[in-house]
Chain A
């Protein structure tokens, strides 16, 4: 009985793969390359949608070919400077990055100590938490005019730059503030007991125990803050008309030259992605300690 039933109940996969060697080979090939094939398929689908849209319902949208032709000079000569608002794409990116770096630095310098204070003092938290919760969701577009008013009276100052920095710093600060505060509150009591038993001074308790214990949280905040700072740059440059990737985008739109807008969007996205990756590498280093 068993000898006759054996060939009938052979493993279910084997006759199929024997009769379709091509399919098995394709599956193996696909499983090795799907990391590449799937994203490519997604990109092609979006490109097709773009072509279709510009051909049908969005007549003003330049199709991918026209976009590429118009964008080429900005990509092949990324550092060219033909005029204040006509520069290579990386040169614009560089200008934007400098502005973001300054605003981001202000956000960290102000936000980290503020977060520490909030984490340490329940009194401080009760006093400031409501106002923080109200200010946090305010859009950069709303802060910028206020910055213009605040710094408008400063003689000889670059008002648009100060207003942009004010906006970036204010919008980007909150994740750092809130994550640092959470981190300080999450310091294990064991660590604080060690500090108390050893009678560490306030300064030593801060530098040897509290800051190292909070670092992973702080860097999560720093990463989120950087993402917001980069988001805000476009709005800040649009409204102030500063040269940069966002200023360029807005200027081309106003000049009815739509070809480079997509180029700007892609560049902003790519730079934001790279910044986030870089920060998560740093963040993971501190998390593993």
Chain B
């Protein structure tokens, strides 16, 4: 049985005056169909680089990507992307922003069907009453709701979330995590999310992948998260495994926070795949 999405020996290097600068080295990960995987690590460790390589926005130096049996080259709407900043086009309304992608993916469908798709997803994320407003008339949280609706509306094979709630206040973040989880429960799209919020990772994901610090970041530890779904925040946090898992993740981050980048050993044996 093969995995739904496979990242094998994904590497990223930049040429620099001091020779090759290795950002990510031999990153291996498999994601099952309908699985929610989260990448955590310190800021600048290269986790966003991994995500943008999967998205096709950043070139891959070595290694490769397979999604649903096909090797990926370059970006495409088969991977729904939610950026850290909502990245909405300010001259289009929320509805038009979502339609831009829908028109691209479902170009054979009649117009009213495409409009229904946009209206459906905007309603599900709670924007039924303000879908015809422009981004500047929406709050930061509402803009990110549009970003989530835009990603799901394309019915992508995979969902890529790049610290989607990083710019929001705590209350809005909780709300949007709920919105995301609800949409994901209905659609069960294989998801790769990047975050540095340990609680967010535990609440949302099936597995948490810890990345070692860059340069030359790799997979450090993979932590399975077996809270029953559908989840709600209270029962997840009361689960007897919650605190030990949280402890384990934070401990990992702390160990790697104190490691100086220059002291990175050349070879490290790590668990590469789950």
Contacting pair A198 B77 (CB below 8 A): yes
Contacting pair B75 A194 (CB below 8 A): no
Contact partner, B89, options A191, A196, A215, Cβ 8 Å: A191
B87 adjacent to chain A (CB < 8 Å)? yes
State which of B19-27, B35-43, B78-86, B204-212 sits at the interface with chain A: B78-86
B195 → chain A closest CB, angstroms: 19
Which residues of the other chain, B, contact A209 by a CB distance below 8 angstroms?
A: 89
B57 adjacent to chain A (CB < 8 Å)? yes
Which residues of the other chain, B, contact A255 by a CB distance below 8 angstroms?
A: none
A289 adjacent to chain B (CB < 8 Å)? yes
Contact partner, A212, options B55, B75, B89, Cβ 8 Å: B89
A200 adjacent to chain B (CB < 8 Å)? yes
B104 adjacent to chain A (CB < 8 Å)? yes
Most chain B CB atoms below 10 A, which of A197, A198, A289: A197
A84 adjacent to chain B (CB < 8 Å)? no
Nearest neighbor of A201 in chain B, beta-carbon distance: B104
Query: How many residues of B are in contact with the other chain, CB < 8 A?
Result: 19
Which residues of the other chain, B, contact A198 by a CB distance below 8 angstroms?
A: 77, 100-101, 104-105
Contacting pair A193 B57 (CB below 8 A): yes
- Would A194 and B89 be within 8 Å (CB), given that A200-B104, A208-B100 are in contact? yes
B259 → chain A closest CB, angstroms: 31
Which residues of the other chain, A, contact B215 by a CB distance below 8 angstroms?
A: none
Contacting pair B87 A190 (CB below 8 A): yes
Nearest neighbor of A211 in chain B, beta-carbon distance: B91
A194 → chain B closest CB, angstroms: 5
A199 adjacent to chain B (CB < 8 Å)? yes
Contact partner, B91, options A193, A196, A204, A289, Cβ 8 Å: A289
Query: How many residues of A are in contact with the other chain, CB < 8 A?
Result: 16
B136 → chain A closest CB, angstroms: 9
Nearest neighbor of A191 in chain B, beta-carbon distance: B89
B178 adjacent to chain A (CB < 8 Å)? no
* Docked complex Cα distance between A159 and B186 (Å): 72
Most chain A CB atoms below 10 A, which of B81, B89, B90: B89
Contact digits for B72-115, partner A, Cβ 8 Å, 1 yes 0 no: 00011101010101010111000000001100110000000000
Contact digits for A247-289, partner B, Cβ 8 Å, 1 yes 0 no: 0000000000000000000000000000000000000000001
* Docked complex Cα distance between A241 and B100 (Å): 54
* Docked complex Cα distance between A90 and B101 (Å): 52
Contacting pair A196 B57 (CB below 8 A): yes
Contact partner, B56, options A191, A196, A212, A213, Cβ 8 Å: A196
Contact partner, A197, options B79, B89, B90, B134, Cβ 8 Å: B79
Contacting pair A190 B56 (CB below 8 A): no
Contact partner, B81, options A197, A200, A204, A208, Cβ 8 Å: A197
- Would A193 and B89 be within 8 Å (CB), given that A199-B76, A199-B104 are in contact? no
Contacting pair B100 A190 (CB below 8 A): no
A189 → chain B closest CB, angstroms: 9
B205 → chain A closest CB, angstroms: 22
* CB interface residues, A 191-231, toward B, < 8 Å: 191, 193-194, 196-200, 204, 208-209, 212-213, 215
* CB interface residues, B 15-60, toward A, < 8 Å: 55-57
Nearest neighbor of B76 in chain A, beta-carbon distance: A199
A98 → chain B closest CB, angstroms: 33
Nearest neighbor of B97 in chain A, beta-carbon distance: A194
A273 → chain B closest CB, angstroms: 30
* CB interface residues, A 161-205, toward B, < 8 Å: 190-191, 193-194, 196-200, 204
Contacting pair B55 A197 (CB below 8 A): yes
Contact digits for B155-192, partner A, Cβ 8 Å, 1 yes 0 no: 00000000000000000000000000000000000000
Q: List 19 A–B pairs whose Cβ atoms lie within 8 Å, in order of A's numbering.
A: A190-B83, A190-B87, A191-B89, A193-B81, A193-B87, A194-B87, A196-B75, A197-B55, A198-B77, A198-B100, A198-B104, A199-B75, A199-B77, A200-B104, A209-B89, A212-B89, A213-B89, A289-B91, A289-B134
Query: Using a CB–CB distance below 8 Å, which chain A residues touch chain B?
Result: 190-191, 193-194, 196-200, 204, 208-209, 212-213, 215, 289
A191-B87, A200-B100, A204-B104 known; 20 new pairs, CB 8 Å cut-off, are: A191-B89, A193-B81, A193-B83, A193-B87, A194-B89, A194-B100, A196-B56, A197-B55, A197-B75, A197-B77, A197-B79, A198-B100, A198-B105, A199-B75, A199-B77, A200-B104, A212-B89, A212-B91, A289-B91, A289-B134
